[in-house]
Chain A
Amino acid sequence: MSGKAAESEGASGQVTDGASDSGDFSGGVVEVELAQGLGLAEALTIGIGTMVCAGIFVLPGIVIAKTGPGALLSFLLGGLVALLSAMSAAEVATGMPKSGGGYYFISRAMGPLWGAIIGWGSWFGLIFASAFYMVGFGEYIASLTGIPVVVAALVMTALLIVLNLVGSQVAGKAQNLTVAILLGSLFLFVGRGAFSVDLGMLFSQRFFPFGIGAVVGGTATLFVSYCGFGEIASMAEEIRDPGKNLPRALLGSVIVVTVLYCGIIFVVLALRPFEELSSSTLVADLAGDLMGSWGRGALVVGAVMAMVSSANASIMSAARISFAMSRDRLVWDWLNRVHPRFRVPHTAILLTGGLILGCVLIRNIELLAEAAGLLHLLLYALICVACIIMRGAKIEAYNPAYRVPWYPAVPILGALGCVGVALKIGGTVALMGLGLIAFAVIHYYAIGRKTTELRGAWPYFLRRGILQPALRRVERGGAVEDEIPKAMLAVANPAHEPARLQIAAGMMGPVQGELLAVNVFVADMADDPRDEMIARYYETIAQRNRMLQEAADVIVQAGARVTSHVPVAGSVFCGLLSAAEASGASLGFFGWPEPGDGYDASLRLLGALDRNLRAHMLVLHEHGPVPARNILALTEDSIHGDLALLCAARLTNTWESQLSVASLVSPQTTHEAQQEAEAALERRIGDGVRASVRMILADAVVEAATAEAAFTDMMILGAPVGPDRDLVAAIDALSDIAGCSIVLVRAYDASEGEPA
Chain B
Amino acid sequence: MAREDKRDERPPILLVGVANPATVPDLMGLAAKLSAYHGYQVVATHIVTVPEQMQLSAARSSPEVAAGTRLLQQAICQGAEVGLNVRGVVEVAREVHEGLISAVKSQKADLMLVGYSAADTEDARAQARDKAERIFDRIMYRVARGAGIDLIVAKFRRLATGSIMVPVLRGLNLPVSGMVLRALLAAGDAEVLFVRAVEPDADIEEQKQDLDRVLAEHDLIELGDAEIVSAPDPRAALIERASEYDMAIIGAERPTIVDAVFGNIAERVASEASCSALLVRAARKC
Contacts and interface: CB of A to CB of B under 8 A. Distances in A.
Contacts of B133: none
B165 to A, nearest CB: 30
A30 B88 contact: yes
B80 A5 contact: yes
Contacts of B226: none
A22 B107 contact: yes
Contacts, number: 149
A552 to B, nearest CB: 10
Contacts of A20: 87, 89, 106-107
Chain B: interface residue count, which band?
35 or more
B10 interface: yes
Given A25-B11, A28-B76, A345 B53 contact: yes
A15 interface: yes
Interface stretch (B58-66, B257-265, B267-275): B58-66
A167 B83 contact: no
Interface in A188-245: 237-238
Contacts of A23: 10
Contacts of A344: 51, 53-54
A13 to B, nearest CB: 9
Nearest to B45: A33
B44 to A, nearest CB: 9
A316 B53 contact: yes
Given A25-B41, A99-B56, A33 B106 contact: yes
B102 A1 contact: no
Interface residues of A, number: 52
A19 interface: yes
A169 B52 contact: yes
Contact of A30 (B76, B80, B108): B76
B283 interface: no
B108 A22 contact: yes
A320 B54 contact: yes
A27 B86 contact: yes
B174 interface: no
Nearest to A17: B60
A563 interface: no
B92 A2 contact: no
Nearest to A545: B73
A320 B91 CA distance: 20
Contact of B73 (A2, A237, A349, A542): A542
A1 B90 CA distance: 24
Contacts of B56: 34-35, 99, 237-238
A481 interface: no
Contacts of B214: none
Contacts of A17: 60
B88 A35 contact: no
B94 A2 contact: no
A30 to B, nearest CB: 4
A373 B91 CA distance: 37
A108 to B, nearest CB: 13
Interface string A335-350: 0001000111100110
Contacts of B94: 35, 37, 169, 238
A553 to B, nearest CB: 7
A324 B55 contact: yes
A599 B78 CA distance: 38
Nearest to A100: B55
B34 interface: no
B190 to A, nearest CB: 23
A120 interface: no
Contact of A32 (B35, B53, B65, B77): B65
A345 B54 contact: yes
A650 interface: no
Contact of A35 (B55, B62, B80, B98): B98
B87 A33 contact: no
Contacts of A4: 85
Interface in A1-45: 1-2, 4-5, 15, 17, 19-20, 22-23, 25-37
Contacts of B154: none
B48 to A, nearest CB: 9
Contact of B60 (A27, A32, A169): A32
29 contacts: A1-B35, A1-B84, A25-B85, A27-B42, A27-B86, A29-B88, A30-B72, A31-B87, A33-B92, A35-B93, A35-B99, A35-B103, A37-B94, A37-B98, A167-B53, A169-B52, A169-B94, A238-B56, A316-B52, A319-B54, A323-B53, A323-B58, A327-B58, A343-B50, A542-B70, A545-B69, A545-B73, A549-B69, A553-B61
Given A27-B86, A35-B99, 9 more contacts: A20-B87, A20-B106, A22-B106, A27-B84, A32-B90, A98-B57, A342-B51, A345-B54, A556-B60
